[in-house]
Structure 1
Amino acid sequence: MSDESGQLESPEEFTKIESIYVRHRNALMVRGQFTPIYTDYYLHLMQHGIRHNGDLDLMLKDFMALITLHTVARPWAETIAWTVNLRAPRINLFTTASSLQESVVGRLFTEDVREPDRNLFYSQVLAPNQHEPRISTLEVEGKDPVEWLAQYYRQSEQRPGRAFRLEDENFVLIVAQPDCDMEWFNALDDAAVEVIETTEETKLLESRRFRFHCGCTLDKILPVLGNWRERPDELFEGDDVITIQCPRCAARYAITRDML
């Protein structure tokens, strides 16, 4: 099966994300097993001939898992985008997720990235009936997205949140609710999180499903080049074909002069 750009499409798989209330502890647990999303992510990279350094690849995968859990912990109709601008390595990590679209997507920017004086985390949240996204910026420490999430919750969400990277590509987010048992919350580790449903009284609140999906097409990419229609020589610089990347997923599209 191929899309309107002529590129092969793969059947997408969904990851089930569960929201679970931990009674007596007053905490929300959001969890998911991310192999289906990661499978489609790697198929996407193969389709577009993209290769990442192993450490950066893992960082992006973690980032996509965490924003997915965070999106499910937030109101249903929000679309959330996160970008982290790192000093070393000098890269931008970008990811965005939407419950309405049941999707998460992300990419790495490794070229022409400005060097910040500190690691900066940018969050954009767009809710219904908002014309502009709500934006927050904070400084984060380290290179572990799990630690960034805890810092983000502390500074921007103004409530404690902790993420856990478990075996077999399972991730869990624990978010403190009013009157949360903070001694229990702060003492949690991977082993305790693994068995919460056997050691605590819990209630499944809802399940959502997410997939790795951007939705970009050649028809959506071309309007971005509208300003170049009157000066194609500057754009093509003597070439007959140029390649444009989607800013959300890094998909590559071949553009010819007659397409403008």
Structure 2
Amino acid sequence: MQPVEDFTKVESIFVRERNCLMVRAQFTPIYTGYYLHLMEHQLRYANELDAALKDLMAVLTLHLTARPWAETIAWTANLRAPRVNYFVTGSSTGENITGRLFTEDVREPDRNLLYSQTLVAGHEPRTTTVHVESNDPIDWIEHYYQQSEQRPAKCFRLDDENYVLVAAQPDYDEEWFAALDAESVAKISEQEQTKLLETRKFQFNCGCSLERILPSLSSWKGKLDELFQGEDVIRVNCPRCGARYEVSREMLEDA
């Protein structure tokens, strides 16, 4: 088991008298794992896209902690400009979050859309589509809560890679909630009566491997000449994290 400092610790806190749930975390451990992953697989994203992907991983991690443990959630954001797909997915039981960008052959939508799929073992997947107006994942999570969760939420990007999600509960203090800003949310633990409900931990980890990638190419076994086109190896990317793997003809013949 990896030492706890390799994980981002996420706290779920109930704000008494305000009837709000606050979820907060410092994301340096996840971001460190993410950049090590990019270096290992020689991946590089434009700065603006990279920053948005990190934000999206952060807000999904907070949302996962606000949800039941059994859920695995995947979000895909399909944007018009820049024409890009953001993909992030995570699981509380797996203690992991991962994600990647798609910048090639991206279908242009008529508007920015956020797709959410929630998986629970033994149940049919639940899918939600939310229209988002901006290119900021902080805004996306707030729109998602309003449209899908049917309750308001506010998300804040604070200093030192800290993020906070505040989600309203039944009979919440509407005036207090409406007045929340980055300065006041950073002081909630000092100024409000709070109760720590639970702590979860996450790391950047996809769990993919060459052994898991090979079965996805099994349909090409009878068409290897067409697949390899005279090359000794082909390069395959993991659809979840973008990791690059080299696959030879022999690997597919033996798979």
Same fold flag (TM > 0.5): yes
Match of 2:153 in 1: 161
Work out whether 1:28 is the aligned partner of 2:1: no
Equivalent of 2:56 in 36, 39, 63: 63
Work out whether 1:77 is the aligned partner of 2:70: yes
Equivalent of 1:97 in 84, 90, 97: 90
Write out aligned runs for 1:1-260 (5 A): 13-130=6-123, 132-260=124-252
Q: TM-score, structure 2 length as denominator?
A: 0.96
Counterpart residue type for residue 139 of structure 1: H
- 1:230 match: secondary structure: helix
CA positional deviation for 1:12 = 8.4
- 1:62 match: secondary structure: helix
Q: TM-score, structure 1 length as denominator?
A: 0.94
Match of 1:3 in 2: none
Residues 12, 212 of structure 1: 8 Å contact kept: no
CA positional deviation for 1:128 = 2.9
| Separation in structure 1 between the aligned mates of residue 120 and residue 164 of structure 2, nearest angstrom | 24
- 2:87 match: secondary structure: strand
CA positional deviation for 1:186 = 1.2
Number of aligned residue pairs: give it: 249
Match of 1:4 in 2: none
The alignment-based identity, stated in percent, is 63
Deviations 1:4-47 (A, max 9, x none): xxxxxxx9810000000000000000000000000010000000
| Separation in structure 2 between the aligned mates of residue 142 and residue 186 of structure 1, nearest angstrom | 21
Counterpart residue type for residue 85 of structure 2: N
- 1:64 match: secondary structure: helix
Structure 2, unmatched stretches of 5+, are none
Counterpart residue type for residue 187 of structure 1: A
| Separation in structure 2 between the aligned mates of residue 199 and residue 128 of structure 1, nearest angstrom | 40
| Separation in structure 1 between the aligned mates of residue 121 and residue 232 of structure 2, nearest angstrom | 42
Counterpart residue type for residue 6 of structure 2: E
Match of 1:8 in 2: none
Counterpart residue type for residue 82 of structure 1: W
Counterpart residue type for residue 91 of structure 1: V
RMSD: 1.1
